[in-house]
């Protein structure tokens, strides 16, 4: 069963614009993670936000978490063509013993 669901499914923007992707989940969590996947490759960890945190930054990435709404957003500022990839959120669920991934958002940044 999918815990996280990303929205939108696909996003196309111009280079320099900001990209926002959303993730909703169903059960209580300990933490939520975001991963990136370039076409045909493995996933790379971007950022982890704990359930007691509301916002976290890493370079051009900003992640927010609203546990009352069971949702998170990933903002990529000043996007670049190299940011073109699929982005996945993953949650550890109530018992924290495994990560469950959403279906992902496909981001295309046009130069």
Partner 1 sequence: DVKVTQSSRYLVKRTGEKVFLECVQDMDHENMFWYRQDPGLGLRLIYFSYDVKMKEKGDIPEGYSVSREKKERFSLILESASTNQTSMYLCASSPATRGPHGELFFGEGSRLTVL
Rule CB under 8 A: say whether 40 interacts with partner 1.
yes
Residues 86/104, Cβ–Cβ less than 8 Å = yes
Q: Which residue has the tokens 């999918």?
A: 2
Rule CB under 8 A: say whether 105 interacts with partner 1.
no
Rule CB under 8 A: say whether 87 interacts with partner 1.
no
Count of residues that interact with partner 1, criterion CB under 8 A: 26
Rounded Cα distance, 62 and 78, in Å: 12
Rule CB under 8 A: say whether 96 interacts with partner 1.
yes
Q: Looking at residues 8 to 37 of the shown chain, list those that interact with partner 1 (rule: CB under 8 A).
A: 30-31, 33, 35
Residues 24/5, Cβ–Cβ less than 8 Å = yes
């Amino acid at each position: 069963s999918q815990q996280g669901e990303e929205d939108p499914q696909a996003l196309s923007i111009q280079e320099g614009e900001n990209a926002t992707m959303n993730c909703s989940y169903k059960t209580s969590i300990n933490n939520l993670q975001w991963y990136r996947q370039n076409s045909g490759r493995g996933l790379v960890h971007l950022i982890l936000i704990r359930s007691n945190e509301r916002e976290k930054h890493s370079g051009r990435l900003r992640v927010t978490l609203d546990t009352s709404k069971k949702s998170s957003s990933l903002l990529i500022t000043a996007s670049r063509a190299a940011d073109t990839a699929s982005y996945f959120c993953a949650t550890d669920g109530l018992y924290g013993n495994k990560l469950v991934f959403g279906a992902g958002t496909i981001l295309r940044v046009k130069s």
